[in-house]
Structure 1
Amino acid sequence: MKKLLILLFSLGSTCMITAQVPLERLPDGGGAFSFEGHQDEMTPAQRAEIVRMLKANEQMLKERGLLQPPTQRPGSIAFQPPLRQKAGFNDNGFFGVSYFVDHNPGVPNQLLDYQCGNRTYDMGSGYNHKGTDMYLWPFAWKKMSNGAVEVVAAAAGTIVGKMNGNYDLNCAFCTSSCQWNAVYIIHDDGSVAWYGHLKNNSLTSKPIGTTVAAGEYLGVVGSSGNSTGPHLHLEIYTNTNYDQLVDPYGGNCNSMNGTTSWWQNQEPYRVSTLNKIMTHGAAPLLGSCPANEVVNEQVNFVNSQTVYLGSYYRDQQNMQQTVHTILRPDNTVYQTWTQTAATTYNFSYWYYSIVLPGAAPSGVWKYKVNYNGTEQVTDFAVNTILPLQLISFNATRQGSVVKLDVSTQHETNVSHFNLLRSADGRNYNSVGKLAARNEVANHYNWRDEKPVAGTNYYKLEMVDKDGIIKHSDVRQVKMIMEGMFTSVAGNPFIKSISLQVKERLKDAQLQLVNMNGQVVWQKDRLQLQQGYIQIDAASLARGVYQLIVRVRNEVVDRHTVVKQ
C-alpha cells in the first residue's frame, strides 16, 4: 500500500510539472529579414576620387602643421564600437552586422568572411565587399528619420576628409553616379577609417585638420550613396597609400591581418540578441524602402481588440528557445508559450496575435519575453491609457546655438510642448513650441538660435488637451565663447578700445586686467545695446591686457588687447 501511494504521488507530481511547461506555438507571421539586395558598392572611379581627395588633404594638413607623422606602430590602435544610441533611445539592441569583409578575391558568389563563413558578398562587376556593414534593426528607416543611431569615432585621430550634401534615402543602387556622406579619420599609427553612408547634414561641425577622441560624435547613420538601406559602412586601411585593407575582425580566414583583431573587445561571430519587443495594432510591415516600412505600434487597447506582439532578433540561432508570457494587471498569467527557432537567422522578426476577452480586466498588462538568458518586458493598457512618459530632455550647446532634444512615450491627448528659458533660473519665458504627435514613441528637436549670455536655464512644459500642465527638470547650458557676444576692433590700440556688442547684454561688467592679474579699469551694471562703444584707455601703460566681459557675474567673453 505504501509503495502504491508513493507511485501515485510521483505520477501526480509529474502531471503538475508537465502542466506548468508552456506549449510550443508557431508565430502568426514574420521570419527572416532578407538582406538579398541590401548592399552597397562604390565604383573604381569614385574610390579613386576619394583617395585623391584624402591624399591632397593629408599633404595640406602636413604643410600647415596640423598632421604629425605616425607615433605608434602600425596596427596598434584598438577600436571601440562605432555606433551608439542617441540619448532618449533605449532599445535593447539597435543594429546587427549584415556583411563582413569578403576575403575571397573571386567573383561572383565566391564568398568568405573572417570566420570562414559566407556573411559577405561580391558583385559580378568585380567588387569584393571591402568593409563591415552595420545595419539598423529593427525599423531602420524610422531609426534613421529620428537620428536614433549615431556614428562615433572608433579610435582617436584627426579628421582628414569629409563629404556631405548628398541624398541619403537611397533604397536601391543609383542609376547614375552618386556619392555618399562620409567622415575620414587618420589615427596615430597611420591607419585610416572611412565612415560611410551617413545622413545628410548630420556630420560633425569640426573641420578637416581637427582631432577627435575615441567615442566622439561623427554623424548619424543614413543611406547615402550606392546604398540600399540605413547602415554604417566601416572601411579601414593600414596607411595612406590605401593599398592595404584591414578587416578589424581577427579570424582563421582573415587574409589581411589573420587572427589579430583591431577591436578592444571583439564580439563573437554570432551575437544572439533580442533587440526589441513591441505591441502593435496591426501586423508590422518591414520593407526595403521607407514607404514600405509600417510599424503599426500601439499600446492602448480595449475589450475584444486584437493585440499583435512583435519580437525582433539579431543572430537568432537554430533551436534557441524563446518563452513568451502575457500578464494581467494583477500579474497573473493570461497566456504563455514557447517558440523554437527552426534555423539560424542574421535578422529575424516574429509576431503573435491575441484577442482580448470581451470583459478584459482594465489596467496595465505586460508582454514578457525570455530569450538567451535575458528578459524584456513592455507594457500595454486595456480599457485605459498609459500615462505620458518623458524619456529624456537634453540641452546641449552647438557653437553659438543650443540644441534641445525631447523624447517621450505614450503620448495620448497631449496638446503641445512649450520650451521655456530663463536667464536667472526663476523667471521663465517660452522660446519655442512643439505640436504633440500623440504616437507611442516620439522624438523632437529644436534649436535656440539666440541664447542669452552666461547660463541659460531650460524647462519643458507638457500641456494636455484637458489643460493639465507638467514640467520637466531644469537643464543648464553655459554660453561662454570668445567673440560670441562681443569683438574688438582696432587692436592694438593707442588711446581707446572699440568694443563691438553683437547681442544685447543686460547688467554687464567690463574689466581691463593687466598681466599681473590686477584690475586697472572697471565699469559695472552696464546695459549694452548692439553697436560699438569706446573704452577710454589713454592713461594705461603700454602692454598686454585682458578685456573681460561679464554678465550676472559670469564671464561671457574675453579678449587680449595690446596698448601701444
Structure 2
Amino acid sequence: MKTINTLSLFILFGMIATKSVGTDFNSKSGNNATEYAPSENSATSPCITEKEYSLLESRILENKKLLQSKNINLSNSSNSITLLNWPLRPSPDLTDCSYYHISAYVDQNTTSGLVQDYNCGSNTYDGHRGTDISIWPFNFYKMDNNLVEVIAAAPGIIIDKHDGEFDRNCAATTVSANYVLIQHADGSYALYWHMKNGSITTKAIGQSVIAGEYLGVVGSSGSSSGPHLHFEVWSGSTVATRVDPYYGTCNSLNASSWWTSQKPYKETGILKASVHTTDAVFPACPATETSNESTSFQIPFQGPGLSPGYAKFYAFLRNEVSGLNATLTILNPNGSSYLTWSYTSANDAKVRAWAWSKVLPTNPGTYTFRVVYNGVTCSSDFEITTSTGILSNGNSKDLKIYSSSSNRKTIFELKNSSIQQIELFNLLGEKVNHVNINERKAELNSPTSTGIYFYRLIDDKQLIYTGKLFLE
C-alpha cells in the first residue's frame, strides 16, 4: 500500500548510497550523487513541426466539412470558455504517490532565441506551443504497462485522430505522432500528442467524449525524447489561436486560467518511495528500466552488490529545491520508528532519485518506508519474512508444524538439531510466544486469536530463519 498526503521528459537525475563513503554509485557502498541531462525536445527538435501544424489545420477543415455533410452539429453552443481538467490519470495498477512532472510549458516569448513561460521563468523551449507533461520514474516501464492514461480534459467531439505510429522515439523525427484532437462546445480545441501505438480510443471521428473519458496511453511517438503528453489548446481551429491554459504574470496569450483548478508552477514533493533488492537500472532511451523494487524480503537477505542484510531505499523527488530537508523513516509494524535519517537538497532539479543502503529489520512483519519532503508524505509497505524450503502451512522436509486441539499447543518438529530458539510474532511484529529448545521437537502455547503469524528459528550460530503460518 502506498499513500500520499498532498499532491512529468526530465532534466536532472541523481542517486546516493549512504552506507559508507565511496565513489562508485553501483557498488554496495557509496556516498556519491550522479546526475545527467538526457535529451529533451527543443527548438531544433520540437514536439510538432510547422509541416505537421499545417497538416492538422487542413485535416480539421476536411473533417469538419465531412461531418457537417453528415448533419453532425459542430457549431459553437457555448459562449463561456471551456475549463479543463487534468488530462492524465494513473491506471488502477499504478501505486506510486504521483507519476508526472512538467518538462516544458508554453513559450510566451515570440522572439527567436528567447524563452519565457507564463510564470516569467524559463521552463520551456523556443517556440513551444503546448504543455509537456512527462511521466516518471520508470517512464518506459509505465508506458509498456499502460500505467498512465490520457483522458479528455473537457467534453467535446473528436475532430481528428491518428494511430499506428512507432512509439519508442528518443529524438526528432519526421514521422507523425499518435494523437487525438477534440473540439469543445465553445469552439476551442485540445490536442493530445505522442500517445502509445495501438492505445488510441476506438471512438470514431465525429463521436463525442465526456470529460475524463479514456483517449489513450502516454507514449513517445512522433518527435519525442521520451514518454510524455504534449497537451496543446487553441481557442479556434488554427495554431495561431493557441492559448496557454496556465495563467500568470507573463501570460500574454489569454487573460485567465483555462484550468478548473490550476496546479502550482512547481509541485515540489515526492513521486515515489520504494524499497529495492539492489540498484535500479536506468538504461539509455528507449530501453525499458529495471526497478528491482520488491515488497517482500526473506531473512537472511543478500541483494546483488549489497552487503548482507542491506536493501536500497529510494526516494524519487519532483521539483527538488536547494536547502529543503527530507525525513526518511522505516516504521516497525506497530508504527514505532525502526530507523530514521535525513537528507538536505544541495541544488534544484526537475526530478531526482536518491538511494540509500540501509540494513533491513529481521523480525517478521509488515514494515513501512516513509519519506516526508516539503510537507508531502509518501510511503510504501514491505514485508519481512522467509519461506524458503518451508510451505505456508509450515510443512517441509526440514520442518513440520501442527496444532494440538486438545491442549491448544503449536508443535514444531525440526530436522535441524542446531535450532535453539523458536519465537512467534503476530502481524504487528509483536512477539507473542517463544521457547528455548534442546531437542528436535518443541511445543508453544497457541495464541488465543486465530490468523496469520510469523515464526523465527534461531540456531547456535545466531542464524535466523523465518516463515509464515496460519493458526486456527
TM-score by length of 1: 0.59
* Letter matched to residue 135 of structure 2: L
Distance 1:88 1:293, change over 3 A: closer
- 1:345 aligns with 349
Shift, 1:352, TM fit: 0.5
Alignment partners' CA distance in 1, 2:376 and 2:248: 28
Alignment of 1:388-427 (within 5 A): none
- After superposition, give the CA deviation of every residue in 1:385-429 in whole Å (9 maximum; x if it has no partner): 79xxxxxxxxxxxxxxxxxxxxxxxxxxxxxxxxxxxxxxxxxxx
* Letter of the structure 1 residue corresponding to residue 278 of structure 2: A
Cα shift at 1:287? 4.3
1:365/1:248 CA distance change after superposition, 3 Å: same
Identical amino acids, percent of aligned pairs: 36
Between Structure 1 and Structure 2, whose CA radius of gyration is higher?
1
- 2:313 maps to amino acid: L
The aligned counterpart of 1:297 is: 293
Give per-residue Cα distances to partners, 1:309-365, cap 9 Å, x unaligned.
0111222222222111123455543321111112222111111111347xx333333
What amino acid is the match of 1:265?
A: S
Matched residue, 1:100: 105
Per-residue deviation, 1:28: 4.1
Q: Work out which structure has the larger RCO, using CA pairs closer than 8 Å and 6 or more positions apart in sequence.
A: 2
2:281 corresponds in structure 1 to: 285
Partner of 2:88: 83
State whether residues 115 and 252 of structure 1, in contact with CA within 8 Å, keep that contact through their aligned partners in structure 2: yes
Unaligned runs of at least 5 residues, structure 1: 1-22, 123-127, 387-564
Give distance in 2, aligned partners of 1:227 and 1:361.
47
1:328/1:361 contact within 8 Å kept: no
Query: What is the distance in 1 between the residues matched to 2:41 and 2:290?
Result: 18
Return the letter of the residue paired with 1:107.
Answer: S
- Per the alignment, residue 265 of structure 2 pairs with 269
CA distance in 1, matches of 2:238, 2:339: 61
User: Secondary structure at 1:256's aligned position in 2?
Assistant: coil
Q: Distance in 2 between matches of 1:323 and 1:217?
A: 37
Structure 2 partner of 1:320: 324
1:427-463 CA deviation, whole Å, 9 max, x = no partner?
A: xxxxxxxxxxxxxxxxxxxxxxxxxxxxxxxxxxxxx
Evaluate the alpha carbon distance shift between residue 162 and residue 149 of structure 1 in structure 2; reply closer, same or farther with a 3 A threshold: same
Partner of 1:370: 372
Query: 2:208, 2:253 → 1: CA distance?
Result: 28
Q: Residue 32 of structure 1 contacts residue 345 of structure 1 at CA under 8 Å; is this kept in 2?
A: no
Structure 2 gap ranges (5+)? 1-17, 22-29, 301-307, 389-472
Cα distance, 1:379 vs structure 2: 2.3
User: 1:16 maps to what in 2?
Assistant: none
TM-score normalised over the length of structure 2: 0.70
The answer to whether 1:234 aligns with 2:235 is no
Match of 1:253, SS?
coil
CA deviations 1:146-201 (Å, max 9, x no partner) are 10111111111100001111001112222xx2010000000111111110001111
**Aligned mate of 1:354, from 350, 355, 358:** 358
Name 2:74's counterpart in structure 1: 68
Look up the equivalent residue of 2:58 and give its one-letter code.
R
Q: Output the CA distance in 1 between the equivalents of 2:142 and 2:33.
A: 20
More strand by share: 1
Question: Does structure 1 residue 166 correspond to structure 2 residue 165?
Answer: yes
Moved more, 180-189 or 284-293: 284-293
Question: 1:100 corresponds to which letter in structure 2?
Answer: Y
Contact 2:226 2:286 in 1 (8 A): no
The code of the aligned residue for 1:112 comes to: Q
**Once the two structures are superposed, what CA deviation does each residue of 1:493-515 show, in whole Å capped at 9, x if it has no partner?**
xxxxxxxxxxxxxxxxxxxxxxx
The answer as to whether partners of 1:67 and 1:209 remain within 8 angstroms in 2 is: no
* Aligned residues of 1:300 and 1:385 also touching (Cα < 8 A): no
Is the CA contact (8 Å cut-off) linking 1:154 and 1:214 kept in structure 2? yes
* Conservation of the 8 A alpha-carbon contact between 1:29 and 1:350: no
In the alignment, the residues of structure 1 paired with residue 38 and residue 83 of structure 2 have an alpha-carbon distance, to the nearest angstrom, of 29
- Counterpart position of 1:538: none
